[in-house]
Amino acid sequence: MTQPEETRAPINQFVHYRKFVDASNRSVVGFNVDNLYSLAWIDLKAEPLVLAVPAMGDRYWMMQIVDAWNGVPAVPGSRTLSGKDPHVFLIAGPDWKGTVPEGMELLRSPTNLGGIGGRTYCAGAEDYAAVNALQDQYQLMPLSAWGKRSATPAKVPLKAGADGETLVNKQVMALNAEQFFSNLNRLMATNPPYAADAPTLEKLRPLGIAPGVPFSTEGLGADVVAALEEGVAQGKAALAAEMKGLGKMVNQWGLTYDMGRYGTKYAYRAAWTFVGIGGNVLEDAFYPLALNDADGKPLSGEHRYTLTFPEGAWPPADAFWSMTLYDIEGYLVDNPLDRYAIGDRSGMAPGPDGSLTIYIQGESPGKDKEANWLPAPKTGSFKVALRLYAPQKSVLNEDWVPPAIQRAD
Amino acid sequence: MNATPMLRIIKSSLATAFAMAIVLSSNAGAQDGLTPVEVRNLAKEAWLFGLPLVMFEK
């Protein structure tokens, strides 16, 4: 690959998602239909990168910086910045000591490897052209190229040996102890652990885990090598167990309040990383997920459901909110309205008492209620994901939680 | 008797080199002083700790 493709790009270059997927998609699960992504993998070892964003007006956007431990050191965006003017950011790695050029805002990453999760609000197909035009104005380039006549390199090979086909999770699970720990030690040399990790590193040092130290099982006794492999197997088992209990369950919604801020809860951090790299911190987004109704029974296309937010308790988001329905595998569900999500921009009708009811079912609830209809599959299990962007204080302090989904038949 | 500055430097360098040698040797055969049970437990912890970074590079 030499140029950014639809979903892949060389390092230090953006790949822009130009439109939303629909129900025919079978390659990306859990796709949102609120924002179009602009994603980049970055390497700051050689020099910092400049990220330029045009004046965005009133449009919601964010450029989430993700470090190599799946932390989120910075998130410039419309939640904290004005859309009147363009913004230029300098993303620097942990060791860079240069002078920040005038007009640039420094974003410091604690690791050299990282990512940018750019999200730009998109109202739908009629908004694609406007969003795509903004995406084309996002600039990402080495500091040395800033202000010079330069073009995106046309011939950037994929990293030697990179496997662009096999799922990353699968690739990592296939590593034996020696491969895994030698990769870890090598990577830690330029992607240092956090200061809070110092006690853990001290504890692991007798095992040979330390930044930049070669790790080899050569010369070790068979019992030690076997113990290393057993430890890795136990780590995988602990990961699987942790993934079953991610977040806390309230009203049958799974709620997570500390995404991107895992501290020293390493099993928890590993589990969320396994789910996905680049989860938003709570101030930026809150993602309740429901698979069951109020009685704890799986949501099913054989039944009809309602979700009612009482007056004064609609999802509290400063930016916007949405609720997307997926089949149990995470794919969008085909329906006659091509409606995959519903939310505060959908023109839903409130009830006479000021409440808001969403009808979740396979068949139309009737013309008078269709504006509040979130189409479900007619058979099979499904799940719904709420997304609150820039959630308000009542979410941050855990006062507001979504009510349970009620079965209506 | 106090050493001359040059000797102090040499001694200091030797001490540093000696300390580094200890560090390097302890890393090179790091697992040697551990029981298999300790190796297993630390390997489990290290795997969970390192997973994000190893995944990130892939």
What's chain B's length in residues?
Answer: 58
| pLDDT for A8 | 66
Q: Is A277 on the interface with B (CB under 8 A)?
A: yes
Identity at A239, one-letter amino acid code: L
- Give me the mean pLDDT over the A33-39 stretch: 95
CATH number at residue A74: 2.60.40.1610
Q: Where are the beta strands (DSSP E) in chain B?
A: none
Taking an 8 Å cut-off on Cβ atoms, the answer to whether A227 and B37 are in contact is yes
* A339 shares a domain with A193: no
Instruction: Give the mutation candidate from A215, A234, A259, A277 for the B interface (greatest B CB count, under 10 A).
Output: A234
What are A127's two structure tokens? 């908004």
- Count: domains in chain A: 3
Contact A385, A289 (CB under 8 A): yes
Taking an 8 Å cut-off on Cβ atoms, the answer to whether B53 and A224 are in contact is no
* A254 shares a domain with A312: yes
Best CA proximity match to A12, nearest among A149, A101, A144: A144
Instruction: Give the mutation candidate from A184, A201, A216, A242 for the B interface (greatest B CB count, under 10 A).
Output: A184
Residues 6+ apart with CB under 8 A from A290: A252, A253, A254, A299, A383, A384, A385, A386, A402, A405
The pLDDT of residue A115 is above 70:
yes
Task: Please report the ipTM that was assigned to this predicted complex.
Answer: 0.88
Best CA proximity match to A13, nearest among A23, A21, A3, A22: A3
- Give me the mean pLDDT over the A184-206 stretch: 97
* A50 shares a domain with A188: no
Q: Is A226 exposed, middle or buried (0-12, 13-18, 19+ CB in 10 A)?
A: middle
Q: Where are the domains of chain B?
A: 5-57
Domain of residue A379, residue span: 248-407
* Residue at a domain's end among A182, A212, A243: A243
Q: Is the dihedral of CA A274, A275, A277, A283 positive or negative?
A: negative
Residues 6+ apart with CB under 8 A from A60: A35, A77, A78, A120, A121, A319, A320, A389, A390
In a domain, residue A98? The reply is yes
| pLDDT for A162 | 65
Confidence category of residue A4, pLDDT binned at 50, 70, 90 = very low
Instruction: Give the mutation candidate from A213, A217, A229, A275 for the B interface (greatest B CB count, under 10 A).
Output: A213
* A342 shares a domain with A207: no
The beta-carbon neighbor of B54 closest among A187, A231, A239 is A187
In a domain, residue A172? The reply is yes
The beta-carbon neighbor of A231 closest among B26, B47, B56 is B47
Taking an 8 Å cut-off on Cβ atoms, the answer to whether B40 and A113 are in contact is no
Write b or e for each residue in A157-187: b if 16 or more Cβ atoms lie within 10 A of its Cβ, otherwise e: eeeeeeeeeeebeeebeebebbebbbbbbbb
Rounded to 5 degrees, what angle do the CA atoms A276, A7, A62 make?
A: 60
| pLDDT for A161 | 61
Alpha-carbon separation of residue A273 from A218, A242, A277 (angstroms): 31, 12, 5
Please give the model's pTM, rounded to 2 decimal places.
Answer: 0.86
Alpha-carbon separation of residue A316 from A179, A189, A265, A408 (angstroms): 46, 43, 29, 25
* A172 shares a domain with A42: no
A140-181 confidence digits (pLDDT tens) = 999 999 988 665 655 555 555 666 666 778 889 999 999 999
For residue A162, what is the nearest residue in chain B, using CA coordinates? B58
* A277 shares a domain with A394: yes
* A183 shares a domain with A200: yes
In a domain, residue A163? The reply is no
For residue B45, what is the nearest residue in chain A, using CA coordinates? A235
- Give me the mean pLDDT over the B21-30 stretch: 40
Contact A88, A103 (CB under 8 A): yes
| pLDDT for B18 | 38
3-state SS, residue A233: helix
* A266 shares a domain with A139: no
* Residue at a domain's end among A206, A226, A243: A243
Instruction: Give the count of beta carbons closer than 10 Å to the beta carbon of residue A190.
Output: 18
Best CA proximity match to A378, nearest among A360, A356, A394, A396: A360
* Residue at a domain's end among A189, A208, A243: A243
